Amino acid sequence: MPESTTASEADSGAYHQIHFAWAEPTLLGRVGPGPSATSLPEQDQPVLRSWRDRLIPALTADYRSALPGTDSAAYPETLWAHHYPDGQSALVYRWPGDVRDAHAWAIVGPTRGLDLPRVLALHENPNTRPAASRPPKPGWAAMRTLPAPAPWERTAAPGALRTRDRRAAETRIEGEPVLVGAVAHALAHPDRPLRLTLDPDHADLWQATQLRFLWGMHRVLHDVLTPRAAVPAAGWSWSFSTYEPVTDPEEGPHLAFVPPSSAAGSPFLSPVPGSTSGSRRVWSPS
């Protein structure tokens, strides 16, 4: 049954869901792509409008320019997360494609409940993980609110943490183990974004290449780069995308996988500190 927001839910930090798709009209009154279903009640229309405006960078990513010649049905599904200065965060699943077929599913709420271990818990729980095959019924309060998930490591089976740590350390792109180089990047310039190239054929979210890497980064660097009780973290952002067409280093998530600009070189868009190998320099570290 649909659930609407109550005062107790707001106090407990319940997370709202928003489904973006082509609608005639959207919940904000226009025909075209936009919010078509949500767990928010209709009286919270200003809240929905605010989230729509915040999420425009995720919802309008230009895959046609980033992947020329690729059929829109072949664009990879992505997971996108961003933390905002007011202590709110969004997690967005994106299914890019033609304007009438593309859609996205956002989970929004307090940052403390959408850090990376909790994102992994949401993603790996089939009861909360969104799916393209089961779109929600359109309308206000047509989706349920979600409680803040427990961090993945608290619910993991015995040995699962060690297994995931090992797989993160073994993650390779173009034959290169990326975790060591990425940690070196982050420690050398923690205020600058990190971009890793990945062929679109290997960018499928369910292959877990990107999530294993993100888990490894979080396990190695969270306590080093994130001041205790800092929300969002000062000097370091745990915003990320598992595949992001925008390669401008001044925009987009802090950690992102992007389409390669050529077939040669390192997966790093700027050289690993101290490396003299033939990396592709897309933005200058100076």
pLDDT in tens, 9-50: 333 468 999 999 999 999 999 999 999 999 999 999 999 999
165 and 75 in a single domain? The answer is no
Q: What are the tens digits of pLDDT across the range 146-195?
A: 998 889 888 888 899 999 999 999 999 888 899 999 999 999 888 888 99
Say yes or no to pLDDT of 99 above 90: no
140 and 170 in a single domain? The answer is no
| Count: domains in the chain | 2
- Examine the fold and report which residue of 129, 151, 173 is the final residue of a domain before the chain moves on: 151
Mean pLDDT of 242-246: 89
145 and 223 in a single domain? The answer is no
144 and 19 in a single domain? The answer is yes
- Examine the fold and report which residue of 92, 116, 151 is the final residue of a domain before the chain moves on: 151
Say yes or no to pLDDT of 1 above 70: no
pLDDT of residue 274: 54
According to DSSP, the β-strands at 16-23 and 88-95 are unpaired
56 and 169 in a single domain? The answer is no
DSSP 217-259: HHHHHHHHHS-TT-SSPSS----EESS-S---TTSS-SEEEE-
194 and 111 in a single domain? The answer is no
- pLDDT top residue among 273 and 245: 245
Domain extent at residue 3: 1-151
38 and 118 in a single domain? The answer is yes
Q: How far apart are CA 224 and CA 93, in angstroms?
A: 28
Range of weakest confidence among 46-55, 98-107, 226-235: 226-235
Residue type, 280: R
Contact (CB, 8 A) for 107 and 90: yes
Report pTM. Answer: 0.86
Range of weakest confidence among 5-9, 126-130, 208-212, 264-268: 5-9
pLDDT of residue 258: 92
121 and 230 in a single domain? The answer is no
Contact (CB, 8 A) for 120 and 211: yes
143 and 5 in a single domain? The answer is yes
6 and 141 in a single domain? The answer is yes
Range of 18-27, 128-137, 221-230 with top mean pLDDT: 18-27
Q: Residue 107 burial by CB count (10 A; 0-12/13-18/19+): exposed, middle or buried?
A: buried
Q: How far apart are CA 262 and CA 135, in angstroms?
A: 36
Assign 3-state DSSP to the chain and report helix, strand, coil percentages, each to 5: 30, 20, 50
147 and 160 in a single domain? The answer is no
43 and 132 in a single domain? The answer is yes
pLDDT of residue 282: 24
